[in-house]
Amino acid sequence: MTDGIAPDRLEKLQALRAAGQDPFPARVPRGEPVAAVLADFAGRQGRAATLCGRLGQIRDFGKLRFAHLQDRTGSIQVGFQRERLPAFWPERKRIESNDLVSVTGELGTTQKGEPTLWATEVVLAAKALRPAPEKWHGLTDTEQRYRMRYVDLFANPEVRDAFARRSLVVREVRAYFDSLGYLEVETPILQPIFGGAAARPFRTHHNALGMGLFLRIAPELYLKRLLVGGMERVYEIGRVFRNEGVSTRHNPEFTMLESYEAWADYRDVMARVEGLFAHLVAKVLGGDGKVVFRGRDYDLRPPFQKARYLDLFAAANPGVDWFDDAAVRRRARELGLPVDGIAAATLANDVFEATVEDGLQGPVFVHDYPVAISPLAKRLAADPRVTERFELFVAGMELGNAFSELNDPLDQEQRFVEQVAQRSDETPGEVDLDYVTALEFGMPPAGGLGIGIDRLCMLLSGAASIRDVVLFPLLRRLDPTAAAADDAEAPAPPPAP
């Protein structure tokens, strides 16, 4: 890991040490934010200031050198003059671009009016043993950007901005639910039985308890236990883990918002989602709901369009009845979809996805999903074939999923039993009886919501790939021997000592 060190930088480090200087001091004179200085620059000219940050490229004029200094708030030019820095001058070359420094000096301008800190005191805060990427292009190699995000972040300001925006999005999502009296809670990530979604889980093991565990695929079942407990409005923003493929819109670990509100139904939840977007448009996008995503314009200001699932299906597949297996199969073959061994409802939904979903530019609420593909949602009283459920689509991407929650313990247990009987690797190996027990104590009618925070951030920042809003996306190991030792089929966990 040390073979990327630049020899010349190591030499400078050793020269500094030989001269009795600490290249990694515990503390240096602390400065103020660069942005604060720039904000009141006119009023502070001629006054002293201290700034800390990373040095950019040095522009050397012999007895004068310029460089920019960058901190989290911005960057400003620093001027080093021989006549102001007699003691520092002989060692000036030991401090170079990419080093972290504390600079004290006098604020002024250059002949061209550039705000400049004319240094009178330069303290090395941390020596950089590796050079920064090229100044003009920055770091562009995608793989390097993900593997060395720390470099990506300091070399590419727009990357910092994107993650600052993500932070803002999460903060404002919290603010919205907090303002409605929801309690933010944290539920188990390590779960003995996984549930709340259909996905393959990651497995792990607790040594002391000698117990196999799963990383959660959804917090859903624990949050609904809280409704039974009387916490009528709860939400959680947390990581969930799904042992599936990686793509521009899937990372194996991602951040999910789930909220549950007692005494509400899916119509109420729809209003909450619109309220959330109104809030985010105001706070994150500055009131302008227009975003560009994957080359298209979207307006995220509510209200959003609404369309019935079956209406969309009928419009895209004239003459095909969603509930008519034979007709659906015919249509699926026509579309070139695989049909063998696929359950009727699943196939019908495949046809929906193939003919409707990609075209859902939205934002649009697709609602009233067939019960066969909605195992956790309540049936619509007026039409028991469909459920009180909606999904929010933008740019053909599923952003959210919500429904009136099933709270009938007998029905729930029956559905769990059927699920377990399917014995797929996406279904739990046993019924979550404790959850059923919770429902038996009585869960108020409730509306629940799940929103993928990563995808929401993609949309709000125009990021085409989920990896552009995940700081450290999952990548393969580079070390081939380590990679070969890994087994995709999860090696047996180490026994307890």
Partner RNA sequence: GGGGGCGUAGCUCAGCCGGUAGAGCAGCGGCCUUUUAAGCCGUAGGUCGCAGGUUCGAUCCCUGCCGCCCUCACCA
- Of residues 115-174, those binding RNA (CB under 7 A): 116, 130-144, 146
Q: Which is nearer to RNA, 142 or 179 (CB)?
A: 142
Which of 77, 156, 204, 361 touches RNA (CB under 7 A)? 77
Query: Does 47 help bind RNA (rule: CB under 7 A)?
Result: no
Give me the amino acid identity at 62. G
Cα–Cα dist 152/242, whole Å? 27
Measured CA to CA in angstroms, residue 424 lies from 137, 200, 421 at distances of: 48, 9, 8
Site for RNA in 237-276 (CB under 7 A): 242, 244-248, 250
Which of 112, 292, 384, 491 touches RNA (CB under 7 A)? 112
Site for RNA in 423-442 (CB under 7 A): 426
Which of 480, 491, 494, 495 touches RNA (CB under 7 A)? 480
**Shortest Å distance, C-beta 141 to RNA:** 4
Q: Which is nearer to RNA, 270 or 281 (CB)?
A: 270
Cα–Cα dist 259/293, whole Å? 26
**Shortest Å distance, C-beta 477 to RNA:** 7
Site for RNA in 22-41 (CB under 7 A): none
Q: Which is nearer to RNA, 314 or 373 (CB)?
A: 373
Query: Does 96 help bind RNA (rule: CB under 7 A)?
Result: yes
Query: Does 93 help bind RNA (rule: CB under 7 A)?
Result: yes
Cα–Cα dist 218/236, whole Å? 10
Tokens of 167: 């932070």
Which of 27, 46, 83, 481 touches RNA (CB under 7 A)? 83
Per-residue interface string for the shown chain with RNA, residues 376-415, x marking contact by CB under 7 A: x--------------x------x--x--------------
Cα–Cα dist 412/442, whole Å? 13
Q: Which is nearer to RNA, 50 or 156 (CB)?
A: 156
Mark out the alpha helices in 265-316 (DSSP H runs): 266-283, 309-316
Neighbours of 253 (CB within 10 A): 15
Question: Which H or E run contains 183?
Answer: strand 183-184
**Shortest Å distance, C-beta 208 to RNA:** 32
Q: Which is nearer to RNA, 46 or 136 (CB)?
A: 136
Output DSSP code: residue 339.
Answer: -
Site for RNA in 191-230 (CB under 7 A): 197-199, 218
Which of 20, 42, 43, 111 touches RNA (CB under 7 A)? 111
Half-sphere exposure in the Cβ direction for 21 (13 Å, CA)? 18
Cis previous bond, 188, omega within 30: no
- Dihedral of alpha carbons 27, 29, 33, 38, sign: negative
Site for RNA in 309-328 (CB under 7 A): none
Mark out the alpha helices in 100-188 (DSSP H runs): 142-147, 149-155, 157-179
Cis previous bond, 497, omega within 30: no
For residues 472, 476, 482, 485, the Cα torsion angle rounded to the nearest 10 degrees is 130
Q: Which is nearer to RNA, 198 or 327 (CB)?
A: 198
Q: Which is nearer to RNA, 27 or 136 (CB)?
A: 136
Stretch that binds RNA, among 4-12, 14-22, 167-175, 229-237 (CB under 7 A): 4-12
Output DSSP code: residue 166.
Answer: H
Site for RNA in 348-377 (CB under 7 A): 350, 353-354, 373-376
Q: What residue has token string 């944290």?
A: 186
SS3 at position 207: coil
**Shortest Å distance, C-beta 209 to RNA:** 28
What φ, ψ does residue 211 adopt, rounded to 5°? -130, 135
**Shortest Å distance, C-beta 28 to RNA:** 22
